[in-house]
Amino acid sequence: MDMNLAKNIKWHDHYNVQLRADSFNTFNHPNLGTPNASVYATGTNANLGVITSTSSAPLYESRSVEFGMKFNF
Report the distance separating Cα 45 and Cα 37, nearest Å: 10
Report the pLDDT value the prediction gives residue 32, as an integer from 0 to 100.
Answer: 78
DSSP, res 32: B
Q: How confident is the model at residue 72 (pLDDT cuts 50, 70, 90)?
A: very high
Looking at per-residue pLDDT, the higher value among 4 and 57 belongs to 4
Report the pLDDT value the prediction gives residue 7, as an integer from 0 to 100.
Answer: 97
Report the pLDDT value the prediction gives residue 54, as an integer from 0 to 100.
Answer: 73
The DSSP H or E segment spanning 63 is none
Beta-carbon contacts of 61 under 8 Å, excluding residues fewer than 6 positions away, are 24, 25
**pLDDT tens-place string over residues 23-61:** 988 888 777 777 877 766 555 667 777 877 777 655 557
Quote the number of domains for the chain: 1
Report the distance separating Cα 33 and Cα 63, nearest Å: 18
Report the pLDDT value the prediction gives residue 48, as an integer from 0 to 100.
Answer: 75
Return the biggest CA–CA distance within the chain. 78
